[in-house]
């Protein structure tokens, strides 16, 4: 296995997730208590999440999580309204959360700054607690991921998911979900034991030019993040879809041998996803399936198993790992530098 920052940082994730749990739980619970104790007239009525890139995919997870378990409408911000058009919408009664590994991007900082100026409660989730984003927000939650040297985000992505999951569980006062979070590092370590096999599987796809990545519900975010990793590391035209959206037209592109990577953990979305994969069988696609379900894995030319028993709401923290490993393997199979994808910088300053 070729050594690289990307490979090491993928394998650091169990330790990083454990660190986040140990170091940030007090701050998360303190914020949750503040949110619960706010007077009814001062309590947030909806949530706006501002992010770009992998952090935006983490925010997609936050939309499902904070909606399903905390009862809030959660929307992704439209940063261009704050910067290019200078016409920010009203954020009165909002909780505005900025998610950014570097905390540097001016457009994300602008959303937080505008929210604060309008009297909204603002939170920064970042790996740099001295960054402009952290300075703009009233409360900062630290990703605790340590330096991330590879240009492709891995451990900062999963630590962002962990912070959002911790906040949701603590805000709801859900001791059962808080306890379940403690198992995530162990599950992550188990998934990563499969790294040598996944790297070998990726060699089969050396000449893949395009593919579709599908997930639904909590793992809609996972589909977007895996597709992003394949684009930025392997230069593959990887398109993310909800399995539901995919059936409204785009399914026409699937033909014999066309690669479809499906994220299918246990939970409410599983029956629909399984039926979707079975409906594709007549077209004879090339299926890569991330799942703990034997029936789903049996449909795949390339099965990528998960441990059994992971709650669906936590599965995005684990389901992304085979996707990261596959992207690393395909990068190596094609002879590309996994730490320096062409044309990219670690910190992208969009306005």
**For 235-280, what is each residue's pLDDT tens digit?**
999 999 998 888 898 898 899 999 999 999 999 999 999 999 999 9
**For 137-182, what is each residue's pLDDT tens digit?**
999 999 999 999 999 999 999 999 999 999 999 999 999 999 999 9
Domain ranges of the chain: 5-182, 187-333
- Give the integer Cα–Cα distance in Å for 202 and 211: 13
**What local confidence, expressed as pLDDT, does residue 246 receive?**
84
Q: Is 1's pLDDT higher than 60?
A: no
- Give the integer Cα–Cα distance in Å for 28 and 32: 6
- On the question of a common fold for 5-182 and 187-333, the answer reads yes
**For 56-71, what is each residue's pLDDT tens digit?**
999 999 999 999 999 9
pLDDT band at 349 (very low <50, low <70, confident <90, very high): low
**What local confidence, expressed as pLDDT, does residue 346 receive?**
58
- Which CATH number applies to 5-182? 3.40.50.10490
Task: Give the CATH number of domain 187-333; options: 3.10.20.740, 3.40.1350.10, 1.20.1070.10, 3.40.50.10490.
Answer: 3.40.50.10490
* Total-model pTM: 0.96
- Give the integer Cα–Cα distance in Å for 192 and 263: 16
pLDDT band at 350 (very low <50, low <70, confident <90, very high): low
* Segment 82-87 long-range contacts (CB within 8 Å, at least 24 positions apart): 82/107, 82/110, 82/111, 82/114, 83/107, 83/110, 83/351, 84/351
């Amino acid at each position: 296995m070729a050594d690289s920052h990307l490979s090491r940082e993928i394998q650091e994730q169990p330790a990083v997730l454990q660190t986040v749990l140990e170091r940030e739980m007090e701050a998360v619970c303190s914020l949750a208590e503040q949110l619960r104790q706010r007077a009814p007239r001062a309590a947030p009525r909806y949530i706006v999440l501002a992010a770009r890139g992998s952090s935006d995919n983490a925010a997609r997870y936050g939309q499902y999580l904070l909606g399903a378990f905390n009862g809030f409408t959660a929307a992704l911000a439209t940063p261009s309204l704050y910067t290019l058009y200078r016409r920010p919408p009203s954020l009165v009664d909002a909780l505005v959360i900025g998610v950014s590994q570097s905390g540097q991007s001016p457009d994300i900082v602008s959303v937080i700054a505008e929210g604060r100026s309008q009297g909204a409660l603002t939170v920064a989730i970042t790996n740099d607690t001295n960054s402009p984003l952290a300075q703009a927000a009233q409360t900062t939650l630290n990703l605790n991921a340590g330096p991330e040297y590879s240009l492709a985000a891995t451990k900062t992505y999963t630590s962002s998911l962990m912070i959002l999951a911790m906040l949701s569980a603590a805000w709801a006062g859900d001791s059962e979900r808080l306890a379940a979070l403690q198992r995530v590092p162990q599950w992550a370590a188990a998934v990563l034991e499969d790294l040598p096999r996944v790297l070998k599987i990726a060699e089969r796809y050396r000449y893949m030019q395009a593919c579709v990545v599908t997930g639904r519900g909590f793992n809609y975010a996972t589909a977007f993040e895996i597709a992003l990793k394949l684009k930025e590391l392997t230069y593959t035209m990887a398109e993310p879809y909800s399995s539901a959206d995919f059936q409204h037209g785009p399914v026409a592109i699937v033909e014999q041998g066309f690669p479809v990577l499906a994220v299918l953990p246990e939970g409410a979305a599983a029956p629909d996803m399984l039926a979707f994969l079975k409906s594709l069988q007549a077209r004879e696609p090339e299926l890569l399936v991330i799942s703990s379900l034997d029936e789903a894995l049996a449909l795949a030319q390339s099965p990528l198993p998960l441990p059994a028993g992971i709650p669906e709401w936590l599965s995005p923290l684990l389901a992304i790992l085979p996707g990261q490993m596959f992207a690393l393997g395909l990068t190596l199979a094609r002879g590309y530098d996994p730490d320096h994808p062409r044309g990219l910088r670690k910190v992208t300053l969009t306005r």
